[in-house]
Amino acid sequence: MISLNNITRSFNGPKGKIIALSDISMTISPGELLAVRGPSGCGKSTLLLTAAGMLKPDKGEVLYQDKDNPYNLTPDKRSRLRAQLIGFVFQQFHLIPYLTVQENIAVSSLILSVNNAEERAKELIKKFGLESREDHLPSQLSTGEKQRTALARALYNKPKVIMADEPTGNLDDENADIVMNHLKSYVEDGGCVLLVTHSARAAEYATSTLNMKGGLISNL
């Protein structure tokens, strides 16, 4: 579904160039929940953002469905391709504070045309147990409800891939398991997930694990 071929990405630091990714090659396939683990600063989030078409590599190639390199597209076309293929879930939720739960879930319909948009949002509200919260603002939600709303939003357009950056980082064990079980079900239905996590509990749900250290894939 998404392939990274010989990806290198660096940043300019106060003491010179910092290599965040060094000649990384990997593939995320349908039916796979790939957990990327490693210490802070090892390149995990850089890897996710590069795979997501949001951070252009210095060298190497990113391919979607073995044909489309998002970095060869104009910014507008790249955003549209990303919206069609990828859903995002982050540790900090990134819900729009002045929109209700239902509106937050359906916000991507402003970018892409969705058939029966309201029905799709209602379907996800029921699936994630948010029926009593659909008209609430994010400030009125618990932490677990915020993350369930964010995950429902990520699934709204029925994406091929979910990119999840520490999605359980702010959750207690019960809510973390709820989120991870939803991701597991999504994978079992043919989706694929790139999961960046420090959590050993979340990583237990993975079908495969990639360990990183110093911008490199590590066998440790």
* Closest listed residue to residue 133, CA positions, set 157, 155, 102: 102
In percent, the amount of the chain with pLDDT more than 90 equals 54
Residue 6's identity, in one-letter code, is N
- Name the residue among 70, 91, 65, 97 with its Cα closest to residue 81: 70
pLDDT at 32: 95
pTM over 0.85: yes
What does the block give as tokens for 29? 């396939």
Reported as a single tens digit per residue, the pLDDT across 113-167 is 666 778 888 999 999 999 999 999 999 999 999 999 999 999 998 899 999 999 9
Q: Tell me how far apart the alpha carbons of residues 193 and 186 are, in angstroms, rounded to a whole number.
A: 8
Q: Which residues contact 84 (CB under 8 A, 6 or more apart)?
A: 112, 157, 159
Residues of the domain holding 177: 2-218
Residues in CB range of 67: below 8 A, 6 or more apart: none
Which helix H or strand E contains 79, and what residues bound it? helix 75-85
Statement: residue 220 has pLDDT above 60: no
CATH number for the domain including 14? Answer: 3.40.50.300
Strand locations in 132-219, DSSP E? 161-165, 192-196, 208-213, 216-218
Question: Based on the structure, what is the number of domains in the chain?
Answer: 1
Give the pLDDT band of residue 193 (cuts 50, 70, 90): very high
